[in-house]
Structure 1
Amino acid sequence: MNRSFQYILVLFSLICENLICQCEEGFTYNNTLSNNINILLGDSCFYNDDLEGLSDLISINNLDYDNAFGIGTQSWFNGRLKILVAGNYGNSSGVNDTIFSLPESIGNWTGLSGLYLEWNRISSLPSSFENLKELRSLYISNNILEGVIENLDSLSNLKYLDLGYNKINQLPISICSLAELQYLWLFNNNLSSLPECMCDMNIDWSSDDSAWFPFFAIGGNSLCENIPECISNSENFNISLDQFYYSFQIDSPQECDFANINDHSNIPYEIKIENPYPNPFNPKTSIRIDLKKSGMVDILIYDLKGSLIQILNGQKLDAGEHTFNWDAGDYSNGIYLMKINTTKKTFVKKVILIK
């Protein structure tokens, strides 16, 4: 073998190792990866269609990343995107700016099992979302979703579904066919009705797991009548998780115009509580209460740590309209809970202080 041939053979081997021969067709080789990429199993070959979905996600939201590998925290398994963490957390584990839209090409992520998109401004899911049939965990709280895909049962492997703190006003009947679902969080949306078939779902409606997370929670909606029995009887019917860290449960009653409550003499007791206005506010907001019968009313202000910071009222009120003002000039920006206790029922209103 002459030297020229040896040189060509060595050169071809180098080219093969670094550019061509490492990956099957449809995959791209990349051996210069940053710390946000985790390879669970396999080598440095990445499925082109998965990369396309990542690139489109970056481009349609004008995110500041050089390539598909830059966004969020990615976990890959045998060349397929397995987990994507792209919440807007304000740290390096998520995205560096807000996601407003999801591209149709995320339907390419057919191997995806975990998707984390919290704290963005996503208003809808693309129709191709139905292709994510391997998805087991979907966390998309604190967005502005108004609904989910109609054929939600296409996500047949889903075990964890967090839709909390959105603007969802209706759920499709197909949710009832999610046979593998174990955790369902629907709190703080705009739901006023639910599919009757939800009671056919195999969910523990009232219990918590060993870490004190509820399997089901739906507080902070407007579910006031014609509620499926399994939901209305749930211990977590008026429960939410704290908005920022999900570190503790909070009381979050359904928001209904009138709560009809019977006292011991079976005389109807009615109270109307209007939403605080303005909200968000700086630094003053007001809440108006209309009592149909005199009674004790406590109006308490809590921070999100659950600490009582101010009492607006703690005495008996006459029947009629009452307005209470809160001056939060001494408090920092953030979300506060306005808790209204009557002798028979508790209401919670969320207010946002922005200075």
Structure 2
Amino acid sequence: MKSLKYFIFIFSFVIKYAMSQCDSSFVSFDVIPSNVNILSGDSCFYNQDLEALEDLISVNQLQYNSVLDIGTQSWFNGRLKLFVAGNYGNSSGVNDTIYILPESIGNWTSLSGLYLEWNRISLLPETFNMLKELRSLYISNNILGSVIEDMDSLSNLIYLDLGYNEIDSIPSSLCNLNNLQYLWLFNNNLTSVPDCMCSMSIDWSSDDSAWFPYFAIGGNNLCENVPECISSSENFNVSLDQFYYSFQVESPQECGSVMVDPIDIVPTSLSVNDPYPNPFNPGTSFNIRLIKNGKLKISVYDIKGNLVDILINNNLPAAAYTFKWDASEFSSGVYFIEIKTSKETVYKKAILAK
């Protein structure tokens, strides 16, 4: 009996020891932070995936105790499958701004989902084309001026969100993304798009069951020689709200500009300060300066995109104004204040905390 117990003890020890060991290409971690989700496998993580995370932290001088602490991570059999690193201001993303993506990001060859919203990324590294398993790429609200030329290397993409950047051209290789179902290009600096886009199997005018458009390209400079599938799209002048993508907004193309003397150029039609206080209860105020005479409409929407209040909808002379929103009759939550003139629309987020 003793020999049997001894055998079981030795066998259990050997199994436990063997299970704690990783292949030479992987590293084991004793403690797994709560932001890391292991979908399959054990606590062994691929060296090169970790190296890219470490480089990302280092080059942007982010403050993390471990490479596993950054963002939200999902791993499958030791490979990074999902990485959420948007600068959302909460624990699901990064704790500071990402400016640079290191070349080693090409190590993430098993990555299927990448979320980098609300950072200040201006360039995608050449190795980005190595992310061939990528299915979802959300990189809105950055300062990208372009995308990689060989976009078709990301052949598994289904969701592509490039909204609210500074992109001025789209390569024709985008047309070869045969699996793409969602394409959001709104609020960039596009003056043209490839004619071949009409060969893509995208529903140019419809929304899905959650009211998200499959395609949207409002707020650009598409004024001439626009492919018919895009110019006739019901979403040609549509964007999503900049903060939470919770509702669609009208964003016309910027066309019809004329040459004027530079000294006569007015950079914007209005200036809007952030609401204060924010969070607030029950009221918050904000200052607006109208540069020119014109119509001003101020609307308030809830988090679901429902119109809940209109503060003003009148023609006003150019001047400085202060508006207050009394939310005493509304429930706690996130609201969006839409300040709209004939030339420009600005959104401000306000949080009612009762």
The TM-score range, normalised by the shorter chain, is 0.7 to 0.9
What secondary structure sits across from 1:283 in the alignment?
strand
What are the within-5 Å matches in structure 2 for residues 103-114 of structure 1? 103-114=102-113
Does the alignment pair 1:87 with 2:66? no
Question: What's the secondary structure of 1:255's corresponding residue?
Answer: coil
Rounded Cα–Cα distance in structure 2 between residues aligned with 1:172 and 1:249: 26
One-letter amino acid of the counterpart of residue 35, structure 2: N
Deviation at residue 144 of structure 1 after TM alignment: 1.2
- Taking the aligned partners of 1:100 and 1:180, their CA distance within structure 2 comes to 29
Instruction: Evaluate the alpha carbon distance shift between residue 336 and residue 257 of structure 1 in structure 2; reply closer, same or farther with a 3 A threshold.
Output: farther
| CA shift for structure 1 position 276 | 1.9
Distance 1:340 1:330, change over 3 A: closer
Deviation at 1:191, TM superposition (A): 1.3
- What is the aligned partner in structure 1 of residue 287 from structure 2? 283
Given the alignment, which residue of 319, 324, 327 partners 2:321?
Answer: 327
Whether 1:349 aligns to 2:345 is yes
Q: Is the 8 A contact 1:251 1:348 kept in 2?
A: no
**Partner residue in 1 for 2:299:** 302
Map residues 138-149 of structure 1 onto 2, 5 A cutoff: 138-149=137-148
Partner deviation per Cα, 1:200-247 (whole Å, 9 max, x = no partner)? 111000000011110001111121221111111001111111111111
- Gaps of at least 5 residues in structure 2 are 1-6, 259-264, 275-285, 327-334
Counterpart of 2:158 in structure 1: which amino acid?
K
Paired residues of 2:183 and 2:214 also in contact (CA < 8 A): yes
Please give the secondary structure, in 2, of the residue aligned with 1:191.
Answer: coil
- Alignment check: 8 A CA contact 1:257 1:274 kept: no
The unaligned stretches of length 5 or more in structure 1 are: 1-5, 260-271, 290-296, 315-321, 342-346
The aligned counterpart of 2:116 is 117
Question: How far apart, CA to CA, are the structure 2 residues paired with 1:163 and 1:353?
Answer: 22
**Matching of residues 75-224 of structure 1 within 5 Å:** 75-224=74-223
The more displaced of 28-37 and 44-53 is 28-37
1:325–1:226 CA distance, 2 compared to 1 (3 A): farther
TM-superposed deviation, 1:196 = 1.3
Q: Distance in 1 between matches of 2:349 and 2:27?
A: 48
Amino acid at match of 1:139: Y
AA aligned opposite 1:84? F
Deviation above 6 Å: which 4+ runs of structure 1? 279-282, 351-354
Q: Does 1:227 align with 2:226?
A: yes
Residue in 2 aligned with 1:311? 312
Q: CA offsets per residue over residues 69-92 of structure 1, 9 Å max, x none?
A: 110110001110000011111111
Secondary structure of residue in 2 paired with 1:250: strand
Q: Deviations over 1:248-271 (max 9, x none)?
A: 111111122459xxxxxxxxxxxx
Change (3 A) 1:120 1:76: same
Taking the aligned partners of 1:59 and 1:198, their CA distance within structure 2 comes to 38
Q: How many residues align?
A: 314
SS in 1 for 2:27: strand
How far apart in 2 are the matches of 1:26 and 1:106?
Answer: 17
> Structure 1's 328 and 110: CA in aligned 2 closer, same or farther, altered over 3 A?
farther
Is this contact kept in 2: 1:242–1:304, CA < 8 A?
Answer: no
Across the aligned residues of Structure 1 and Structure 2, the Cα RMSD in angstroms comes to 3.1
Would the alpha carbon gap of residues 353 and 28 (structure 1) be closer, same or farther in structure 2, given more than 3 Å must change?
Answer: closer
Compute the TM-score of the two structures, normalised by the length of structure 2: 0.79
| 24-33 or 302-311, larger mean C-alpha shift | 302-311
Compared CA separation, residues 72 and 206, structure 1 to 2 (3 A)? same
For the residue of structure 1 that corresponds to 2:289, the secondary structure is strand
Q: How far 1:166 moved relative to its partner?
A: 1.1
Q: Write out aligned runs for 1:266-277 (5 A).
A: 275-277=268-270
By how many angstroms is 1:274 displaced?
7.1
The 8 Å contact of residues 301 and 309 in structure 2, kept in 1 or not, is answered as: no
CA 1:247–1:312 in 2, change beyond 3 Å: closer, same or farther?
closer
1:248-301 Cα shifts (integer Å, max 9, x gaps): 111111122459xxxxxxxxxxxx997325467883322437xxxxxxx74312
Q: Distance in 1 between matches of 2:255 and 2:338?
A: 17
Identity among equivalent pairs (%): 58
Q: 1:303 to 1:224 in 2, by over 3 A?
A: farther
Residues 171-220 of structure 1, C-alpha deviations (whole Å, 9 max, x = no match): 11111111110000111111121111111111000000011110001111
